[in-house]
């Protein structure tokens, strides 16, 4: 089958533009390819040629932008993906100031993003869904719980050794407010970064009593987590916890702290292998540590619409999880994989691209459906 570059390695058709390699400003056209379309099993409208390529630069919104943004949403019309791309580009630039926000959940929803397999899209989905919700006017917190700190990198957050981080939260029981920073590109998005110190936390916590409760206590002790009565208008609407690719003490802390799980599944062979172990762990946590934990959200990532394998995996996942599967599949896309090298999510790097629009649709679905399980 045809494999595009899953790890964001260089595309021979495109010049290098990473901030590490080049001083180029604007992104040239991404090559049109069928698998880059936003994919939904319900509707696959024809994808027209791309609109503006000048999405990596910043500019001030004009009066016509404001008029366009306050007009009825073209997202309601599946037949106008061009308008959707244009609207999201505008939305991303204006950081949700031009439109009223989506309705907020009544209390903070804490989603654990876990799958013990590496490379399935946990971090990519965490940062992009979180950024999309923030662009839709929600207050969002991302907790980077992977010592590799990939979510911190993608959100342009300092995570050198010694930076206040999740390590301090777990090991030294620092209050959340002391380790939180705001994402420079997205004002409604806060982040707790992870440093490499976190790699030692599992060992350091071995002899500690209630070591699996550390993150739960840190979150529940924060005045911005809760409902309107306890946490007020400034409360976080969503907390996303990006887990490492293992089922160790760090992931266990997340499963005890959260109420919902978002499991990204890569539309590839072996996708479902190992899921049994994850679900058995969830059952164990539910039985002994956190009865409220629910697998609410399954997100199919890196979907390649050209292959029968991808649609086969997707229907197998739907057969197993049913309604928990988000209807919008995330396509495999060069833009999604190259955004982190600019310290950005695809939601700001190329807001009109199919990957960004798919994450935006997925975020809307997550926001509107709530907990099903």
Ligand X SMILES: Nc1ncnc2c1ncn2[C@@H]1O[C@H](COP(=O)(O)OP(=O)(O)O)[C@@H](O)[C@H]1O
Taking the C-alpha atoms of residue 99 and residue 314, their distance in angstroms, rounded to an integer, is 34
Taking the C-alpha atoms of residue 299 and residue 132, their distance in angstroms, rounded to an integer, is 15
Q: Which stretch binds Mg ion (CB under 5 A): 87-95, 122-130, 174-182, 225-233?
A: 122-130
Q: Which stretch binds Mg ion (CB under 5 A): 82-90, 100-108, 118-126, 290-298?
A: 118-126
Q: Which of 128, 124, 32, 130 shows the shortest CA–CA distance to 81?
A: 32
- Smallest separation (angstroms) from ligand X to the CB of 241: 12
Work out what residue 124 binds among ligand X, Mg ion, none; the CB cut-off runs from 5 to 8 Å by kind.
ligand X
Collect contacts of 225-231 with beta carbons under 8 A, ≥24 apart. 225/108, 225/110, 225/176, 226/107, 226/108, 227/106, 227/107, 227/108, 228/106, 228/107, 231/107, 231/108
Cβ of 187: how many Cβ atoms within 10 Å? 13
Work out what residue 336 binds among ligand X, Mg ion, none; the CB cut-off runs from 5 to 8 Å by kind.
ligand X
Both tokens of residue 44? 């696959």
- Smallest separation (angstroms) from ligand X to the CB of 121: 4
- Smallest separation (angstroms) from ligand X to the CB of 130: 13
Taking the C-alpha atoms of residue 114 and residue 95, their distance in angstroms, rounded to an integer, is 28
Nearer to ligand X by C-beta: 314 or 330?
330
Work out what residue 104 binds among Mg ion, ligand X, none; the CB cut-off runs from 5 to 8 Å by kind.
none
Nearer to ligand X by C-beta: 6 or 223?
6
Interior/surface letters 210-220, b for 16+ CB within 10 angstroms, e for the rest: ebbbbbbbbbe
Burial class (CB in 10 A: 0-12, 13-18, 19+), 229: exposed
Interior/surface letters 276-301, b for 16+ CB within 10 angstroms, e for the rest: eebeebbeebeeeebeebbbbbbbbb
Taking the C-alpha atoms of residue 364 and residue 373, their distance in angstroms, rounded to an integer, is 18
Nearer to ligand X by C-beta: 125 or 165?
125
Nearer to Mg ion by C-beta: 150 or 163?
150
Burial class (CB in 10 A: 0-12, 13-18, 19+), 102: middle
Binding test (CB under 6 A) with ligand X, winner from 27, 296, 301, 344: 301
Binding test (CB under 6 A) with ligand X, winner from 258, 351, 352, 355: 355
Residue list 226-245, contact with ligand X (CB under 6 A): 245
Residue list 101-120, contact with ligand X (CB under 6 A): 118-120
Nearer to ligand X by C-beta: 13 or 58?
13
- Smallest separation (angstroms) from ligand X to the CB of 233: 32
Taking the C-alpha atoms of residue 111 and residue 261, their distance in angstroms, rounded to an integer, is 5
Residue list 308-337, contact with ligand X (CB under 6 A): 330, 332-333, 336-337
Cβ atoms of residues 372 and 296 within 8 Å: yes
- Smallest separation (angstroms) from ligand X to the CB of 104: 27
The answer to whether 184 contacts ligand X (rule: CB under 6 A) is no
The answer to whether 123 contacts Mg ion (rule: CB under 5 A) is yes
The answer to whether 33 contacts ligand X (rule: CB under 6 A) is no
Q: Which stretch binds ligand X (CB under 6 A): 2-10, 177-185, 186-194, 199-207?
A: 2-10
Q: How many of the chain's residues bind ligand X (CB under 6 A)?
A: 20
The answer to whether 122 contacts Mg ion (rule: CB under 5 A) is yes
Q: What φ, ψ does residue 155 adopt, rounded to 5°?
A: -100, 10
Residue list 122-141, contact with ligand X (CB under 6 A): 122-124
The answer to whether 34 contacts ligand X (rule: CB under 6 A) is no
Tell me, what DSSP letter sits at residue 110?
A: E
Interface contacts to ligand X, rule CB under 6 A = 6-8, 118-124, 150, 245, 301-302, 330, 332-333, 336-337, 355
Interface contacts to Mg ion, rule CB under 5 A = 122-123, 150
């Amino acid at each position: 089958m045809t494999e595009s570059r899953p790890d964001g390695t260089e595309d021979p058709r495109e010049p290098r533009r990473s901030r590490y390699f080049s001083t180029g400003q604007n992104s040239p056209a991404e090559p049109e390819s069928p698998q880059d379309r936003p994919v939904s099993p319900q509707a696959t409208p024809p994808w027209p040629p791309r609109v503006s390529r000048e999405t990596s630069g910043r500019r001030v919104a004009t009066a016509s932008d404001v008029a366009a943004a306050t007009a009825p949403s073209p997202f309601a019309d599946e037949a106008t993906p061009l308008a959707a791309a244009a609207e999201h580009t505008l939305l991303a630039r204006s950081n949700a100031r031009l439109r009223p926000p989506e309705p907020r959940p009544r209390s903070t929803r804490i989603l654990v993003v876990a799958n013990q397999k590496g490379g399935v899209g946990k971090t990519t989905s965490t940062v992009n869904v979180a950024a999309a919700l923030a662009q839709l006017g929600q207050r969002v917190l991302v907790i980077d719980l992977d010592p590799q700190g990939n979510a911190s990198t993608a959100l342009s957050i300092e995570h050198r050794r010694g930076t206040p981080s999740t390590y301090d939260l777990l090991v030294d029981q620092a209050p959340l407010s002391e380790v939180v920073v705001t994402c420079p590109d997205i004002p409604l998005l806060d982040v707790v970064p992870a440093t490499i110190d976190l790699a030692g936390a599992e060992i350091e916590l071995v002899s500690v009593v209630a070591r699996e409760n550390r993150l739960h206590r840190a979150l529940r002790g924060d005045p911005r987590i809760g409902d309107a009565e306890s946490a007020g208008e400034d409360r976080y609407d969503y907390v996303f916890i990006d887990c490492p690719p293992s089922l160790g003490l760090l992931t266990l802390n997340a499963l005890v702290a959260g109420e919902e799980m978002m499991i990204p599944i890569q539309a590839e062979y072996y996708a479902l292998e190992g899921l049994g172990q994850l679900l058995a762990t969830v059952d164990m946590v539910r039985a002994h540590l956190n009865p409220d934990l629910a697998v609410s959200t399954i997100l199919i990532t890196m979907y390649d619409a050209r292959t029968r394998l991808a649609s086969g995996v997707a229907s197998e996942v739907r057969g197993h999880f049913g309604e928990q599967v988000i209807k919008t599949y995330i396509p495999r896309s060069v833009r999604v994989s190259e955004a982190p090298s600019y310290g950005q999510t695809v939601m700001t790097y190329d807001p009109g691209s199919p990957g960004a629009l798919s994450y935006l649709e997925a975020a809307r679905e997550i926001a509107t459906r709530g907990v099903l399980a």
